[in-house]
Structure 1
């Protein structure tokens, strides 16, 4: 009876350990997916602002700094770039 209990305890500990390791590895993956998603949306927004805003003379120069801001922040980054362009 003691042998069976130790096997069940070892399996339970292994499952808990597997769950904890999976949860720890899932957090960085969520962050990376969010960063990629913001980058794609930010790039599309920069493109749309330049295409549609070009009619009214509203454009944002696409350089590495602006691409990074739009990539990390997404839509709020593009709005921030527009505001900074007209304030400065």
Structure 2
């Protein structure tokens, strides 16, 4: 009777580990996608606020494919990089 109980416990343990491994495989890309969306929203918000106040100072960052991609991937550091490039050029 002791051998059957260990087999059942091992089967349940293997099933639980399989569930955790499958959920990790599927949740990893979702975390990356969520981070990308959060960076995009924060970067776009900073760009909108900066362009609103930039009209008074004369510094304006245009929105095109390159700036949207850079800000979307990097977020606030991408915005700072674009701002530094704009100020240096």
Specify if TM > 0.5. Answer: yes
Runs of 4+ in 1 over 3 A off after TM superposition: none
| CA–CA separation in structure 1 for the residues paired with 2:59 and 2:77 | 17
Q: How many residues align?
A: 88
Residue 18 of structure 2 corresponds to residue 12 of structure 1: no
Deviates more, 1:21-30 or 1:43-52: 21-30
Which ranges in structure 1 are unaligned for 5 or more consecutive residues?
A: none
Report matched runs for 1:45-64 at 5 Å: 45-64=46-65
| CA–CA separation in structure 2 for the residues paired with 1:54 and 1:75 | 20
Which ranges in structure 2 are unaligned for 5 or more consecutive residues?
A: none
Secondary structure class of the residue paired with 1:59: coil
- Partner of residue 80, structure 1: 81
Query: Aligned-residue CA RMSD in angstroms?
Result: 1.2
TM-score in terms of structure 2 length: 0.89
Deviations along 1:57-78, one digit per CA (max 9) or x if unpaired, are 1110100111111111111111
| CA–CA separation in structure 2 for the residues paired with 1:86 and 1:16 | 53
